[in-house]
Amino acid sequence: MMTESTESTEFLEEFFSEAQIRARVKELGRQISLDYQGKPLVMVCVLKGAFIFFSDLVRQVDLELEVDFLRVSSYGAGDTSSGEVRFSKDVEIDLRAKDVLLVDDIVDSGLTMDRLRREILTRGVNSLRIAALIDKFERREKEVSVDYAGFSVSDGFFVGYGLDYAERHRQKASVCVLVQKD
C-alpha cells in the first residue's frame, strides 16, 4: 500500500505489516525468555525510536525483569547519521552484575550502537546483548552484532512503528519505506 505523506514529495510504502511485526515480536520474546531464564535481566530501551517495539517486546518476555531507558541521537532532523552520538538521558538502574539487553529500533551504520555497547560494558555487566527491530547492514561502518533482529534488510529508509523521519511517521502501525518522488 502506498500513501502520500504530509509532504507532497514523500510517499510511504508498507514494508512490514502490523501482523508481520506482531508475529516476529512474539517470536523474539519467546527466544529472549528462553535465553535469559533464571538470569537478572535488565531491558534498556534506546529512545525515542524503539519505544513502541520495546513496549511490545517487554510484554512478550515471560521473565521477571527490570526496564530502563536511555536517549541518544545521531540523526538530528535528517535521514543520514551525523556520526556524532549525543547522550541526553542515561539509565538509572545500577547495571553491575546484571545481564543487559539493549533494545533499539534500527542498527544502521553501527556508530550509535557501538558507542552504547562500549559505554554499557564499562559498568560491570555480566553480559550485554542487542535487540533491534531492524538490522540494516547496508551502511555498517562499525562491526556490531545484533543478537535479536526483528528483520534484516539491506537498504531503504524506514518509518513507522516508532521509527521516524524528522520526528514524523512514528505512529504508523506498520513499518514503511520512505520513497522520495522527484
CATH classification at residue 129: 3.40.50.2020
3-class DSSP state of 111: helix
Q: What pLDDT was estimated at residue 52?
A: 94
Confidence band (pLDDT; 50, 70, 90) for 165?
A: confident
Q: Is the pLDDT of residue 7 over 50?
A: no
Which listed residue (108, 114, 147, 182) is catalytic? 108
> For residue 170, is it within any domain?
no
Kindly state the average pLDDT of the residues 17-45.
96
Return the H-helix or E-strand segment holding 151: strand 148-153
Does some domain include residue 70? yes
Sign of CA dihedral 122, 128, 131, 134: positive
Mean predicted confidence (pLDDT) in 39-46: 94
pTM higher than the cut 0.75: yes
How many domains does the chain fold into? 1
Structural domain includes residue 148: yes
Residue 100 has pLDDT above 90, yes or no: yes
Domain range holding 125? 19-155
Question: Is 4 among the domain residues?
Answer: no
> Does residue 172 sit within a domain?
no
Is 156 buried (19+), middle (13-18) or exposed (0-12) by CB count in 10 A?
A: middle
In a domain, 32, yes or no: yes
Q: Specify the 3-state DSSP secondary structure of 116.
A: helix
Q: Which of 98, 92, 39, 91 is nearest to 70 (CA)?
A: 91
114 has catalytic annotation: no
**pLDDT (tens digit per residue) in 111-150:** 989 999 999 999 999 999 999 999 998 788 898 999 999 9
Looking at per-residue pLDDT, the higher value among 27 and 83 belongs to: 27
**Lowest-confidence pick of 19-23, 34-38, 79-83, 161-165:** 79-83
Residue type, position 2, single letter? M
Instruction: Supply 160's cell numbers.
Output: 513507522
- Cβ distance 98 to 126 under 8 Å? yes
CA distance 122 to 120: 5
